[in-house]
Structure 1
Amino acid sequence: MGAERSNLKAEPGLDPSRPRRWHWKRLLWLPVLFAAFSVLQVLVLRFVDPPLSTVMLWRYGEALGQGEWDYRLHYQWRDLDQMAPSLPISLVAAEDQRFPEHNGFDLQAIEKARDHNAKGGRLRGASTISQQVAKNLFLWQGRSWVRKGLEVWYTVLIEALWPKARILEMYANIAEFGDGIYGAQAAARQYWGKDAARLSAAESARLAAVLPAPRRYNAARPGPYVQRRAAWIQRQARQLGGHAYLGED
């Protein structure tokens, strides 16, 4: 028996002192681990308000990298019922009018954008509010196929795990309304010195109007473009049925 034990220990595959080899197949667990982490991440944020978003952190790092040492982020969370009712419907009217109906991806808008872009001229996007939440909350700035794939994945998770009201609440809080100004509460304080709950319909429409380029346009000092777009947003909000369109009383 002693000789047999000695022979077994001599075999390389059974030597406990021999280091185990790393195998590439372990990489196959990475997608599984990422999927589990991202599901948990989205599930937690259904109930927990985020202190920051990745876009905020990215912009802050960018400012410091450019030597803007006095750069400050303005961000104050407010629940949806602490905002003026005119704000959520203004965001939907401006950005994603089929928001209550689609499951994260507006195929009709994608088709229209593709046809429009095929004709040339100014490019038109078709991102839904859910997609913009996925980009702003979880991902980095820039364009790549990897980022687009992650955007799709997080959009699916958001739509599956969050109610529509939470998605809209998150968007209203992390959207950029000016350089360093994130969310409706911070925008209302910075531009008009009031809380988001006291925003007028015209002010809500102006905030929604600057979203395509919030560092270029100013909701407090609107130029002709913002004025025209804000007026259009108010008309669209009325045609949709006002905040009742979102299932609010």
Structure 2
Amino acid sequence: MSKTRLVGLFALLGLFGLLLYQFGLFVMVVWLTFNNPNTSAFMRATLTELRADNPNAKIAFEWVPYDRISPNLKRAVVAAEDANFTGHNGVEWEAIKRAFEYNLQMADEGRSRMRGGSTISQQLAKNLFLSGDRSYLRKGQELILTYMIEAVMSKKRILELYLNIAQWGVNVFGAQAAAQHYFKRNAAQLGSTQAARLAAMLPNPAYYDKRGNTTYLQSRTATLTRRMRMVDIP
């Protein structure tokens, strides 16, 4: 066999392997449409990191169905993370463009502050299946998974999954564990201010878990308390 044909064969095998991998992910997305996960890629990565210092470390997580999560939290999270959640098809390209331009400006100024343009659907794809890596390859896979999720899941199911696996502390994942950890109550009992505070923590939950109710967190909570009345939820 000639070298050219050999290279072509390996390329074909590589493409077949990639397609098989994507099909496997799609099967998992379909499975999650009807079944509740008991872990996620982010939970596993966090647990591995915590056990490097403490072999006995555990993740705080308890699944609760959509109807047992306070509407206050649903509204607060949508207001904080993705105000157009019910109106888009999974990806807000204009928001990604604005975030990219902002991050370039911060880099030019030598500042580390970053802004994300991800929708709730994109964050769900990342948290369920991927790592926290910021590479373009990982971002591309995130977009593919996002469109898979939007193709087979309702908005209600997407939000239910997201609220149950989102990170809310050093080792705290999901609305129920967060409500217990911070307010000693169930997720169904969260008031508007409590819900807004949890939503405000989402960009950096481990930091706020350690630092407590900072001045910025208080300000952001007040803002979200006003905004959450204006968003639609499934």
Structures share a fold, TM > 0.5? yes
Kindly indicate whether the alpha-carbon contact (under 8 Å) linking 2:196 and 2:222 is maintained by their aligned counterparts in 1.
yes
TM-score (structure 2 length as normaliser):
0.88
The residue identity in structure 1 corresponding to 2:86 is P
Larger relative contact order (Cα-Cα within 8 Å, sequence gap ≥ 6): 2
Unaligned runs of at least 5 residues, structure 2: 1-8
Structure 2 vs 1, CA of residues 220 and 164 (structure 1 numbering), >3 Å: closer, same or farther? farther
1:44 aligns with 2:35: no
1:205 aligns with 2:196: yes
RMSD value, Cα: 1.8
In structure 1, how many angstroms separate the alpha carbons of the residues matched to 2:114 and 2:180?
Answer: 33
Structure 2 vs 1, CA of residues 219 and 209 (structure 1 numbering), >3 Å: closer, same or farther? farther
Q: CA deviation at 1:150?
A: 1.1
Kindly indicate whether the alpha-carbon contact (under 8 Å) linking 2:79 and 2:228 is maintained by their aligned counterparts in 1.
yes
Higher-helix-fraction structure: 2
Unaligned runs of at least 5 residues, structure 1: 1-22
Report matched runs for 1:53-92 at 5 Å: 53-65=40-52, 67-92=53-78
Q: CA deviation at 1:115?
A: 4.2
In structure 2, how many angstroms separate the alpha carbons of the residues matched to 1:60 and 1:187?
Answer: 17
The residue identity in structure 2 corresponding to 1:51 is N
Determine the structure 2 residue equivalent to 1:160.
151
The residue identity in structure 1 corresponding to 2:172 is I
The residue identity in structure 1 corresponding to 2:58 is R
Structure 1 residue corresponding to 2:96, chosen from 99, 110, 119: 110
Determine the structure 1 residue equivalent to 2:214.
223
Q: CA deviation at 1:119?
A: 4.0
Q: Secondary structure at the match of 2:168?
A: strand
Among the aligned pairs, what percent are the same residue?
Answer: 39
Determine the structure 1 residue equivalent to 2:22.
35
TM-score (structure 1 length as normaliser):
0.83
The residue identity in structure 2 corresponding to 1:46 is T
Kindly indicate whether the alpha-carbon contact (under 8 Å) linking 1:89 and 1:237 is maintained by their aligned counterparts in 2.
yes
Determine the structure 2 residue equivalent to 1:237.
228
Q: CA deviation at 1:114?
A: 3.7
1:96 aligns with 2:96: no
Q: CA deviation at 1:207?
A: 0.5
